[in-house]
Chains A and B, each alone.
Chain A
Amino acid sequence: MNVAKLETGCAETKVIPILRERGQREVFCGLTGIIWLHRKIQDAFFLVVGSRTCAHLIQSAAGVMIFAEPRFATAIIDERDLAGLSDANDELDRVVTRLLERRPDIKLLFLVGSCPSEVIKLDLSRAAQRLSTQFTPNVRVLNYSGSGIETTFTQGEDACLAALVPSLPKAPVDAAMSLLIVGCLADVVEDQWMRLFTEMGMTNVSFFPPRRSTELPTVGANTRYLLAQPFLADTARALEERGAVRLPAPFPLGVEGTTEWLRAAANAFGVSAEKFDAVTMPKRERAVRALQHQRPMLEGKRIFFFPDSQLEIPIARFLARECGMTLTEVGTPFLHKQHLAEEIAMLPDYVQLSEGQHVEKQLDRCRAIKPDIVVCGLGLANPLEAEGMTTKWAIELVFTPIQGYEQAADLAELFARPLNRRMRLVA
């Protein structure tokens, strides 16, 4: 067991032990992020260069979310590509050409690397450059890896956004200070925040990724950025290389998290405390009122998190501090100490954090703890329900708008509903 010392914004030092394990990891790979990324960037297409397994994974994870025609597909590598009977690059060019003929509306194409493409060392960055030249100016072609050997679930979004950062236009040196909100969010959440920023007098605010690839925000030394998601380590690094400066804050989950997150921006942009309170207080009060409906179901209940999306720690903080829940083990696939410093400072001292996974041992611990509710992936949920536990599918937390004031009660409700349901069902 390692002990991590965490420097927090409040200059207090907090020591929370972290259990680090290796073994079977019951998590998705980064390709899964395509499911929400392709809905967010509406003129982008995601072409996975991989195996039949990759194609099967995405359609299985997408489940019933099948749209008229999805803007993602897989170029399935076959034995001819592996045996060198066909040139993989020629094949890729052929597939991309067919694809772009079918979809002239596509402006941005991501070639997405997979485990097999990484192992056979198919150079997708060169392929992307070549294809970009070929299809310019109609289509830009970028690449990133969503492979399971390199990325866990939400890290796919991180890799995608990091690949997009070099395309951001450079802000002029004398540009006014601007705020960039980083991470995929539901449009409704972005719109709510835009109204709050406007009311506070902040107008130079943009979101990354944008809804259309032709509306990329500028970036430069006068850019301040706020992470809206906790899993964006590479994107943050890429933005900083472009001169942008991160505003440290907890994540905008729950009333408290949202307030502190907005406050980090307000402080950086010189919004007065009075103005900040005048704008946010009505929203905070309304959100607290809405939360009170969910609190009785959650108060005192013990919750266990299996690692999934890296959202575990901010959500655990919200459930403990605003909903009165008791944390047991909070597992996360990867813990970014710097980005999560504010979050960890707000966690109760008794929490057991774990990073990585040995799923069998973790299941043993979960059964021994007998929590009131377990947050886990789709592979574990029904088996645990059958053992008598109440579960919440973690994947819903990345598909549902949960950030910001208006969604704080919705987030609590996601945990209250399984408990509520368990109480109702008598048979």
Chain B
Amino acid sequence: MQLTLWTYEGPPHIGAMRIATAMRDVHYVLHAPQGDTYADLLFTMIERRDARPPVTYTTFQARDLGSDTAELFKSAAREAYERFQPKAMLVGASCTAELIQDDPGGLAKALNLPIPVVPLELPAYQRKENWGASETFYQLVRTLCTPHMLPPGVARPVRADGVRPSCNLLGATALGFRHRDDIKEITGLIHQLGIDVNVIAPYGASPDDIARLGEADFNVIMYPETAGQAATWLQRSFAQPFTKTIPIGVSATREFIAEVAKLANVDPAPALNDPRSRSSWYAKSVDSTYLTGKRVFVFGDATHAVAAARMASEEFGFKVVGIGTYSREFAREIREAAKIYGVEPLITDDYLDVEAKVAELQPELVLGTQMERHIAKRLGVPCAVISAPIHVQDFPARYAPQMGFEGANVIFDTWVHPLMMGLEEHLLGMFRNDFEFHDGAGSSHLGGKVKPQHQSDVSAQTAPISPPIVEVELKAVTAVVSPTSPLTITWAADAEKELGKIPFFVRGKARRNTERYANEQALATITVETLYDAKAHYSR
């Protein structure tokens, strides 16, 4: 048993739902108890989908357990076929139905439906959502593509002269982080190179589309978490190579273009220098100087976390102080990335472990998921979301990809937004004793953080209209007992006062560094001199 407050991933059948819901003309019949229909709201509320997921649940109850739940499954599958007329059906069990062992695959087969039926074995007590999505997509691809496989010993026909090369874009699902917009961005890139997109799957694909995946020259893996397994099978069965670079960030996008151009045997030049690419210049512009060396903690699915850490380091000039993933299947990728940044990888799906790590590292920016948003809010650290699991505000109405050059632009804006603006940071430092530049003033562009300095200033006009989206105030560390040492450190009154003169957004770090320094020097009392000794010691 594992004690869980929040879970990063749902059970594996949620992954199967993300595939089914992304597609057209597919229906998923899920043997599940009453209550499991909650999953519909992930799609209709969080993603704001305008249609119900194509899922029929048997919703059995205790009284059904005594009678015939297998018959209940058969009638639900039969009715679902008649009502929705899908071109392919997925059948499976959720966690509770797995325990009653009704064999949905066998039951569905006995119905002799005139469409392909894909039985899903998704072990709910071992596996999780992303694995379920990957397995479902793979089983669907295998079932629908096998009839079109090349006979053994027959080589893939060479593309005729004058025929444009083509590829499939694999991995985008429902409830994915910006999948809708990444598809558009990558499709544009592919077209710029003179390559056709054969099929995008599973997002928007029908079973007929899946069946013709083998017609493309190669595959683009957009999200290895969902598409890796299927692409490996396609490579084996249709001799289709696949891309390995994830085009998140300017450098990675350029490398991706080169990789695709090589696979298609075309010139990469037309796509390499996109005039819309602004993030590199923005990072070089002097206003961005303040971003230098900001300490960031990165956590998410492995693909997004690895890409975010690289961007943070190479394209923002941040310092990566921690990297981790909730996805054990992709722990290796994170371990390799952690080596680059000289940090310990954090491989865990325990929210409490992640929270403890963030509290310990005290980063200046957290790049994470919806969960880290809560952690960061609690600890008073700015945060930007880089990976699923995500919430309703991470499905923006506007075009906001993560991939390609426009994706890099979007990411630049998104990560910088919760931080103090460059010049503003300096002004706050310069005028820190000015009554309008007090600690509670926050930054001008975020709003909702106004805290009057004196009770006499309280008036209706200072009441925030909307709740704060991100809290920028770095709360001073109150614990003066160092976690690494039993030594109790006291702050002398004048040192405490001096600390108060340091701008609030770096005060937490100053306090932490000073206490660490005092600890190392075995000083029981921190004086003004200790404060400046520590400052000199840690100056960079």
Task: Give A contacts to B, CB under 8 Å.
Answer: 23-32, 49, 51-53, 55-57, 59-61, 63-64, 66, 68-70, 73-79, 81-82, 86, 88, 91-92, 94-95, 98-99, 115-116, 118-120, 147-150, 152, 360, 377-383, 385-386
Residue picked from B6, B37, B49, most chain A C-beta under 10 Å? B37
The proximity string for B residues 35-72 relative to A, scoring 1 for CB distances below 8 Å and 0 otherwise, is: 11111111011101111100011111110110000000
CB-based contact A29/B7 at 8 Å: no
Chain B interface SS verdict (over half): mixed
Partner of A149, one of B39, B96, B125, B126: B96
CB-based contact B35/A29 at 8 Å: yes
CB-based contact B1/A76 at 8 Å: yes
Residues of A within 8 A of B100 (CB): 119
The verdict on B311 contacting chain A, using a C-beta distance below 8 Å, is no
In the bound complex, CA of A86 to CA of B125 (Å): 14
The proximity string for B residues 74-89 relative to A, scoring 1 for CB distances below 8 Å and 0 otherwise, is: 0010010001000000
CB-based contact A120/B99 at 8 Å: yes
CB-based contact A378/B41 at 8 Å: yes
A-B contact pairs, 23 of them (CB 8 A): A23-B59, A27-B34, A29-B38, A30-B35, A56-B10, A57-B36, A60-B41, A64-B391, A78-B125, A88-B1, A98-B3, A99-B3, A116-B95, A119-B99, A147-B33, A148-B33, A148-B59, A149-B65, A150-B61, A380-B40, A382-B50, A383-B51, A386-B50
CB-based contact B34/A148 at 8 Å: yes
In the bound complex, CA of A31 to CA of B35 (Å): 9
Partner of B44, one of A56, A69, A70, A380: A380
Partner of A24, one of B9, B39, B45, B58: B58
In the bound complex, CA of A42 to CA of B4 (Å): 20
CB-based contact A60/B42 at 8 Å: yes
Residues of A within 8 A of B58 (CB): 24
The verdict on B124 contacting chain A, using a C-beta distance below 8 Å, is yes
CB-based contact B126/A79 at 8 Å: yes
The verdict on B123 contacting chain A, using a C-beta distance below 8 Å, is yes
The verdict on B460 contacting chain A, using a C-beta distance below 8 Å, is no
CB-based contact B44/A28 at 8 Å: no
Residues of B within 8 A of A59 (CB): 6-7
In the assembled complex, the CB of B13 is this many whole angstroms from the nearest CB of chain A, namely 8
Residues of A within 8 A of B124 (CB): 51-53
In the assembled complex, the CB of A56 is this many whole angstroms from the nearest CB of chain B, namely 4
Q: Closest 10 CB pairs between A and B? A: A29-B35, A148-B35, A379-B40, A386-B50, A115-B96, A378-B41, A51-B95, A91-B1, A148-B34, A56-B10
Residues of A within 8 A of B50 (CB): 382-383, 385-386
In the bound complex, CA of A37 to CA of B124 (Å): 28
The proximity string for B residues 461-499 relative to A, scoring 1 for CB distances below 8 Å and 0 otherwise, is: 000000000000000000000000000000000000000
CB-based contact A55/B378 at 8 Å: no
In the bound complex, CA of A51 to CA of B128 (Å): 11
Residues of A within 8 A of B45 (CB): 63, 378-379, 381-382
The verdict on B11 contacting chain A, using a C-beta distance below 8 Å, is yes
The proximity string for B residues 1-22 relative to A, scoring 1 for CB distances below 8 Å and 0 otherwise, is: 1111111011101100000000
In the bound complex, CA of A204 to CA of B52 (Å): 50
The verdict on B294 contacting chain A, using a C-beta distance below 8 Å, is no
Given contacts A24-B59, A27-B35, A73-B5, contact A56 B11 (CB under 8 A): yes
Residues of A within 8 A of B451 (CB): none
Partner of A56, one of B14, B34, B40: B14
Residues of B within 8 A of A63 (CB): 45
The verdict on B374 contacting chain A, using a C-beta distance below 8 Å, is yes
Residues of B within 8 A of A92 (CB): 1
Task: Give B contacts to A, CB under 8 Å.
Answer: 1-7, 9-11, 13-14, 33-42, 44-46, 48-52, 56-62, 64-65, 76, 79, 83, 94-96, 99-100, 123-126, 128, 374, 378, 391-392
Residues of B within 8 A of A75 (CB): 1-4
In the bound complex, CA of A60 to CA of B39 (Å): 8
In the bound complex, CA of A379 to CA of B45 (Å): 7
Residues of B within 8 A of A149 (CB): 33-34, 60-62, 64-65, 96
In the assembled complex, the CB of A203 is this many whole angstroms from the nearest CB of chain B, namely 38
Residues of B within 8 A of A120 (CB): 99
In the bound complex, CA of A200 to CA of B59 (Å): 48
In the assembled complex, the CB of B381 is this many whole angstroms from the nearest CB of chain A, namely 15
Residues of B within 8 A of A31 (CB): 35
CB-based contact B96/A56 at 8 Å: no
Extra contacts besides A28-B37, A73-B5, A81-B1 (7): CB < 8 Å: A57-B36, A64-B391, A77-B1, A116-B96, A118-B62, A378-B45, A380-B40
- Residue on A with the closest CB to B373? A66
- Residue on A with the closest CB to B100? A119
CB-based contact A53/B41 at 8 Å: no
Partner of B36, one of A61, A99, A148: A148
Residues of A within 8 A of B76 (CB): 24
CB-based contact B40/A26 at 8 Å: yes
Residues of B within 8 A of A29 (CB): 33-36, 38
CB-based contact B7/A52 at 8 Å: yes
In the bound complex, CA of A75 to CA of B41 (Å): 23
CB-based contact A95/B96 at 8 Å: no
CB-based contact B374/A66 at 8 Å: yes
In the assembled complex, the CB of A71 is this many whole angstroms from the nearest CB of chain B, namely 10
CB-based contact B4/A55 at 8 Å: yes
In the bound complex, CA of A116 to CA of B1 (Å): 13
Given contacts A31-B35, A99-B3, A149-B34, contact A79 B95 (CB under 8 A): no
Given contacts A31-B35, A53-B124, A116-B99, contact A380 B62 (CB under 8 A): no
Residues of A within 8 A of B392 (CB): 64
CB-based contact B96/A119 at 8 Å: yes
CB-based contact A53/B95 at 8 Å: yes
In the bound complex, CA of A23 to CA of B38 (Å): 16
Residues of B within 8 A of A379 (CB): 37-38, 40-41, 44-45, 52
CB-based contact B94/A53 at 8 Å: yes
In the assembled complex, the CB of A241 is this many whole angstroms from the nearest CB of chain B, namely 22
Residues of A within 8 A of B391 (CB): 64
Residues of A within 8 A of B34 (CB): 25, 27, 29, 148-149, 152
Given contacts A24-B76, A115-B95, contact A95 B44 (CB under 8 A): no
CB-based contact A27/B37 at 8 Å: yes
Residues of B within 8 A of A74 (CB): 3-4, 7
In the bound complex, CA of A57 to CA of B83 (Å): 27
CB-based contact B11/A382 at 8 Å: no
Residues of A within 8 A of B79 (CB): 360
Residues of B within 8 A of A49 (CB): 1
- Residue on B with the closest CB to A118? B62
In the bound complex, CA of A116 to CA of B62 (Å): 12
In the bound complex, CA of A28 to CA of B39 (Å): 10
In the bound complex, CA of A380 to CA of B11 (Å): 22
- Residue on B with the closest CB to A81? B1
In the bound complex, CA of A68 to CA of B374 (Å): 8
Residues of A within 8 A of B60 (CB): 149
In the assembled complex, the CB of A83 is this many whole angstroms from the nearest CB of chain B, namely 9
Residues of A within 8 A of B96 (CB): 51, 53, 115-116, 119, 148-149
CB-based contact A115/B5 at 8 Å: no
In the bound complex, CA of A53 to CA of B97 (Å): 12
Residues of A within 8 A of B94 (CB): 53
In the bound complex, CA of A27 to CA of B62 (Å): 15
In the assembled complex, the CB of A398 is this many whole angstroms from the nearest CB of chain B, namely 15
In the bound complex, CA of A360 to CA of B374 (Å): 38
In the bound complex, CA of A55 to CA of B59 (Å): 18
Residues of A within 8 A of B36 (CB): 29, 53, 57, 148
Residues of B within 8 A of A66 (CB): 374
